[in-house]
Structure 1
Amino acid sequence: MRALIVDDESRVRRAITLLVDWKSHGIDELQEASSGSEAIEMIRQSKPEIIIMDMMMESGNGLELMSWVNEYAGSIKFIVVSGHDDFDFVRNTVRNGGIDYILKPIDAEAINAAVSKAVAEWKREDKERNDIQRQTIRLNEFKPLYGEKMLSSFIDDPIPAESTLRKLTLEGIIPEQAKNVRLLLLQVDTGDTPLLKRFANESELLHFAIINICNDFLRSQGRGIAFKYWGATSEIVILLWHQYEAVTDLILQMNEGLFHTLQRRMHFGVSSVGDLPRSIPAQYKEALTAVTRRNLLNPGEYAHTSKPSSVGTGPASLNTGNGYIFFSSVQEDWKMAIMSGSSERIDVVSQKWVDDLSRSGIVTPELLEIWKKDIASFRTRLLREMLGDEADAAFSQLEELDKESKPPFTTGYSFSLFAWRDWSNHYMKQLSRIIMERQARENRTMMDIIKYIDYHYQTEISLQDIASHFFVSREYVSRKFKQEFGINFSDYLGQYRINKAKTLMLNPNLKIVQIAEMVGFHDVKYFSKVFKKQEGVSPKMYRSNLEK
């Protein structure tokens, strides 16, 4: 802390210097002035916290200095040392916030007590000032968030919209004369990795920069406000309440500003004009529709209005009415290419898809989202159809692979048909590979099961024994026998044993009961029953026919 002693007598200044225990009060810098005018200059330069001053001086008296300090350096605490026991002097000292009025000759205990009180009072007020400053900083940080929340509520919670508008008007965010409004919606490209890297991958910082650039153009002309919409992760909303008819020129200006700073231009969905605030929810939907149905094949257009035609989300089909191509138009081609396992065939199908999209003349973010959902549903159905019970395991495996090969962003500004072609190509090849691998594994498993039966048909063998030995489910084994042979496991085993028994009957030295035991039947009567069911005659009659 700094202290300043102001007195026109050097012996008084010297006395004060010696009498006060400056170190114990935390004062490490001491200065002296011989007049009020000199003191003012020193206060301006060094900004002391404590002043000890005389009331009567030849150049600039203490009353003038006290008034100046009170007006221009109000945080300074001062102590008056005077040889005059004058009521007016004391009253002025108190009026100007003085800590104490000490009469000369100066008592050491009195001056130290006054300095201690002055230091304590300055520290208390400094803490209050710092607390207020921190609160102000937090409030200033919170104000934009508070404003964003209220502005976003126009869209998400329209019931108290009139009350919200009054609050925003009182806060000076929306002018009182604003009656009509047009809404613009800017979708930030969340897949623009190079741009995000410039902001340390902090999307909030990027949004903040874009909002500031837009607001530079809006606030300078009092046209409106841009804010982060809380209802979506990557959307910035602009409300225009002045000069909203010249929206195309405004978007051009903002994009020039964005390009100058970020080297990017943004796409804006534009609503029609409506009443503030009642129309804002509908305007948001209109602008969202406009930006999600913008034609990605025309990247140079940045202002987008909603069209009457609708893509819709009904059954996927080729819609020749508006040029949209849906997944159903290529679904069979994709299925055949995947099931063929041919990499060349998949290449052809992928290229044909993007060629068809290019020829259609229109590709929208909304359409790409529909494609993604239809493709995902197609994959699930195909896995069920081709792998049955194994489909869930294959689906989990593919989901893990999807994390390494994500589709391009549908809202991305750097749209490329080739990027979508490459993704679809990889997607189909992954699916084809997984299906082929699992089918091959199933085929190998069935071959092993048949070999197992060949080696163990003479013993007691059940469906559960097979399932346990090969670590598959009973249902899997049963389903595979139905698929491969058209019969269930028990019928297959019975036929296999009877066929073996027929071969053994060629040996006239083997009795029927022996043959039954040798092929796994421990009850000759049951063997005869099964044999007759399959061959239409009893084992004895079958052997007799062989001997003829």
Structure 2
Amino acid sequence: MRALIVDDEARVRKAVRLLVDWDVHGIDEIMEAGSGNEAMELIRESKPGLVIMDMMMASGHGMELMEWISEFAGSIKFIVVSGHNDFDFVRNTVRHGGIDYILKPIDAEAINAAVHKAVTEWREEERERIDMQRQNIQLNEFKPVYGEKLLSSLIDDQNAAEASIRRLRNEGAVPMEADTVQLALLQLDASDALLIQRFGNDSELMHFAIINICNEFLAKERSGIAFKYWGAPWEIIILAWEPACDIQKLISRINEGLLHTLQRRMHFGIGPAGRLPHSLPAQYAEAKSALARRNLLRSDAYVHSLGAGSEDPADRHGQFTFSSVREEWKMAVLSGNDGQISAAAQKWTGELGRIGTVTPEQLQHWTSAAMQFRTQLLRETLGDASGNALTVLEQSDRQNQPPFPGSYAFTLFAWRDWSYGLMTELARMINERQAKDKRTIDDIVKYVEQRYMDDLSLLDIASTFFVSREYISRKFKQEFGINFSDYLATYRIGKAKQLMHNPHLKIAQVAEMVGFRDVKYFSKVFKKQEGMTPKDYRSKLEI
């Protein structure tokens, strides 16, 4: 440890050198300065732990030196030796953190007692500084990826939990004596574009900054550690192991730090305290559930827990699920009417607002149910073509993404607009595909009318129009109430009936002219359709 004696009189500096038992105090280097200004230069260069100084000096007043040490070298301990018994000097010495104020002539016992006290305090604070520095290195710099992986494995891999906790204790990340723990889960808002942009759209950098802010508070109280959880991309976990730690108050202080630094408060879910390491999976599951069930309509709550006797939001929502509006959404979409679609979108968000509780969990269920509804309605209305239609809609989803269920900036209006957009696009797609189907069937009908006398097959027509045989069969059934083969036979028989008005055409000729290569088969089909043979039909015409 170094000491600096500051006095403009050389004899006083010499007296101090002789009176202090430096070796006993563990001080192995003594420097001297003849003025306050000279002392400041030496302090900058050599960084002594103790300064013994005069108050009245010709160059650089002792008061100025005290103020400078207090502001720029706060870890230094100083003792004032003065010939002036001035109350203001004593008061300022105490105010700036001085150890003692000793009057000249200097008493050996008094100055050694003051040096002992100063050295003891400096060494204690130095140990704390070293411990704090070591802990900061462990928390912020100790093999980050390795540390995150080990900490995450305490939740994800119970088979390796004991081995992981031993390694973490050996690394100093978890105190040896820590045997109980409480988990807090911070879910970042993946939709907070403004915050992410502040970090150059680098989510890793954002995670690092938020974890550091959390660890500043945890390291200060040596109460826990924060880390990026490998099990989910937007989650940070805090483990608090200090038994006396009030995690609610701790998170409130962290949130104030986040607000001060990032202008954001964030949502935390907490689980009940338990034993390290095996209680952590259950704590994590409960903390995550608490976040999923938080009421998004409440903007004043940031710490969430399930707690004994807490209300399950599902109880308040009762039977109001997507099935409650499914039929109304279906009718609105099939109508293609903008007013009906808008009313359907407004109804469900209005009902949620009326109930008074909206949770991320419920919105996630609604989103999944709405997407299933879209797929099912496409299949009902478009059949085989639904796959391609769904692919197109999924591509357009990029412009109409559902709001993030856990968004910190929750608004029912955003969900209303999303559902309106979903139904509007679905209605447009169904209408366009059905119109296209109608044109395709009309073209197939024209093709049949022009080539009915040829050897037409369902496979040939499907290949010509680049559709499946099943598609043609289904669409003919929907459009005409009969399948394709029956439609073709009916059309051919109709043409045959017209030709049979010509008495010069034999029945075999008529059959071949309308596409029947076998006159017996023609007669069979004709009788089935008209209730009489072609011969009887012609006889009836001649009467």
Task: Structure 1 unaligned segments of length 5 or more: list them.
Answer: 1-43, 46-136, 313-318
- Equivalent residue runs for 1:51-200 within 5 Å: 141=141, 143-200=143-200
In 1, are the aligned partners of 2:140 and 2:212 still within 8 Å (CA)?
no
Q: Under a length normalisation based on structure 2, what TM-score does the superposition of the two structures give?
A: 0.71
Query: Measured at CA, do residues 323 and 309 of structure 1 come closer, stay the same or move farther in structure 2, by a change above 3 Å?
Result: farther
Which one of the candidate residues 532, 537, 542 is aligned to 1:542?
537
Which portions of structure 1, spanning 4 or more consecutive aligned residues, are displaced by more than 4 angstroms? Answer: 137-142, 307-312, 319-324
In 1, are the aligned partners of 2:180 and 2:243 still within 8 Å (CA)?
no
**2:351 is the alignment partner of 1:353:** no
Structure-1 separation of matches of 2:511 and 2:364: 65
Structure-2 separation of matches of 1:456 and 1:538: 25
Q: Secondary structure at the match of 1:330?
A: helix
- Higher alpha-carbon deviation: 137-146 or 445-454: 137-146
In 2, are the aligned partners of 1:380 and 1:395 still within 8 Å (CA)?
yes
Structure-1 separation of matches of 2:312 and 2:437: 42
Q: Give, in angstroms, the shift of residue 505 of structure 1.
A: 2.8
In 1, are the aligned partners of 2:185 and 2:284 still within 8 Å (CA)?
yes
The aligned residue for residue 298 of structure 1 is: 298
Structure-1 separation of matches of 2:284 and 2:295: 19
In 1, are the aligned partners of 2:269 and 2:291 still within 8 Å (CA)?
yes
The aligned residue for residue 498 of structure 2 is: 503
Q: Secondary structure at the match of 2:143?
A: helix
Structure-2 separation of matches of 1:310 and 1:464: 62
In 1, are the aligned partners of 2:139 and 2:225 still within 8 Å (CA)?
no
Structure-2 separation of matches of 1:500 and 1:478: 22
- Equivalent residue runs for 1:394-409 within 5 Å: 394-409=389-404
- Higher alpha-carbon deviation: 339-348 or 520-529: 520-529
The aligned residue for residue 510 of structure 2 is: 515
Q: Give, in angstroms, the shift of residue 149 of structure 1.
A: 2.1
Q: Give, in angstroms, the shift of residue 521 of structure 1.
A: 2.5
Structure-2 separation of matches of 1:270 and 1:423: 31
Corresponding pairs, count: 408
**2:425 is the alignment partner of 1:425:** no
Structure-2 separation of matches of 1:324 and 1:497: 57
Q: Secondary structure at the match of 1:306?
A: coil
Query: Measured at CA, do residues 490 and 414 of structure 1 come closer, stay the same or move farther in structure 2, by a change above 3 Å?
Result: same
Query: Measured at CA, do residues 497 and 250 of structure 1 come closer, stay the same or move farther in structure 2, by a change above 3 Å?
Result: same
Query: Deviations for 1:281-301, whole angstroms, at most 9, x for unmatched residues?
Result: 111111111111111111221
Which amino acid in 1 is paired with 2:383?
G
Q: Give, in angstroms, the shift of residue 244 of structure 1.
A: 5.5
- Higher alpha-carbon deviation: 147-156 or 179-188: 147-156
Which amino acid in 2 is paired with 1:149?
K
Which amino acid in 2 is paired with 1:399?
E
Q: Give, in angstroms, the shift of residue 310 of structure 1.
A: 9.1
Which amino acid in 2 is paired with 1:430?
E
Query: Deviations for 1:66-91, whole angstroms, at most 9, x for unmatched residues?
Result: xxxxxxxxxxxxxxxxxxxxxxxxxx
The aligned residue for residue 286 of structure 2 is: 286
Query: Measured at CA, do residues 217 and 512 of structure 1 come closer, stay the same or move farther in structure 2, by a change above 3 Å?
Result: same
Q: Secondary structure at the match of 1:220?
A: helix
Q: Give, in angstroms, the shift of residue 168 of structure 1.
A: 2.4
Query: Measured at CA, do residues 509 and 311 of structure 1 come closer, stay the same or move farther in structure 2, by a change above 3 Å?
Result: farther
- Compute the RMSD of aligned alpha carbons: 2.5
Q: Secondary structure at the match of 1:272?
A: coil
Q: Give, in angstroms, the shift of residue 524 of structure 1.
A: 2.8
Q: Under a length normalisation based on structure 1, what TM-score does the superposition of the two structures give?
A: 0.70
Q: Secondary structure at the match of 2:159?
A: coil
- Higher alpha-carbon deviation: 404-413 or 418-427: 404-413
Which amino acid in 1 is paired with 2:514?
V
The aligned residue for residue 488 of structure 1 is: 483
Structure-2 separation of matches of 1:175 and 1:529: 94
In 1, are the aligned partners of 2:333 and 2:426 still within 8 Å (CA)?
yes
Task: Structure 2 unaligned segments of length 5 or more: list them.
Answer: 1-43, 46-136
Structure-1 separation of matches of 2:460 and 2:278: 71
- Higher alpha-carbon deviation: 375-384 or 480-489: 480-489
Which one of the candidate residues 312, 316, 340 is aligned to 2:335?
340
Which amino acid in 2 is paired with 1:265?
R
Query: Measured at CA, do residues 416 and 159 of structure 1 come closer, stay the same or move farther in structure 2, by a change above 3 Å?
Result: same
Structure-2 separation of matches of 1:507 and 1:153: 91
The aligned residue for residue 35 of structure 1 is: none
- Equivalent residue runs for 1:235-254 within 5 Å: 235-242=235-242, 246-254=246-254
The aligned residue for residue 201 of structure 2 is: 201
Q: Give, in angstroms, the shift of residue 262 of structure 1.
A: 0.4
Q: Give, in angstroms, the shift of residue 382 of structure 1.
A: 1.2
Q: Secondary structure at the match of 2:269?
A: strand
- Higher alpha-carbon deviation: 433-442 or 375-384: 375-384
Which amino acid in 2 is paired with 1:525?
K
Which amino acid in 2 is paired with 1:296?
L
Which one of the candidate residues 513, 519, 526 is aligned to 2:521?
526
Q: Give, in angstroms, the shift of residue 311 of structure 1.
A: 7.2
Query: Measured at CA, do residues 161 and 463 of structure 1 come closer, stay the same or move farther in structure 2, by a change above 3 Å?
Result: closer
In 2, are the aligned partners of 1:268 and 1:302 still within 8 Å (CA)?
yes
